[in-house]
Amino acid sequence: MPFGNKPNPDNRSDNVEKLQEMIQNTIENMERAEETMALSDSDETRRQVEEKNERRRESIEAMRAEVKDEARANGPMTE
């Protein structure tokens, strides 16, 4: 590689923590969006929030599956 640049090693040790934080943030965003929707008189805004929250639900499911995969891959640490 030019200039002696090396790729960073793949450090997956904190992936589960990061995913759990992302899940929590997504849930909080959904809750805020629901509050906004409740205050809105616009059918279009309600529709957009509902669609976005559905995509968020799908993302949460995918992230939870990834947490399970990571937990399985890391398994109990034995040395």
The total domain count for the chain is 1
% of the chain beyond a pLDDT of 70? 89
pLDDT in tens, 44-79: 999 999 999 999 999 999 999 999 998 888 776 544
Q: Please report whether residue 23 resides in a domain.
A: yes
Closest-CA residue to 33 (of 49, 54, 51): 49
Q: Return the pLDDT at 30.
A: 97
Q: Please report whether residue 63 resides in a domain.
A: yes
- Indicate the average pLDDT of the chain: 88
Closest-CA residue to 59 (of 25, 16, 12, 11): 25
Residue with tokens 């559905």: 54
Q: Please report whether residue 7 resides in a domain.
A: no
Q: Please report whether residue 8 resides in a domain.
A: no
Say what the pTM is: 0.76
Provide the b/e sequence for 37-55 (b: ≥16 CB within 10 Å): beeeeeeeeeeebeeebee
Q: Please report whether residue 79 resides in a domain.
A: no
Q: Please report whether residue 10 resides in a domain.
A: no
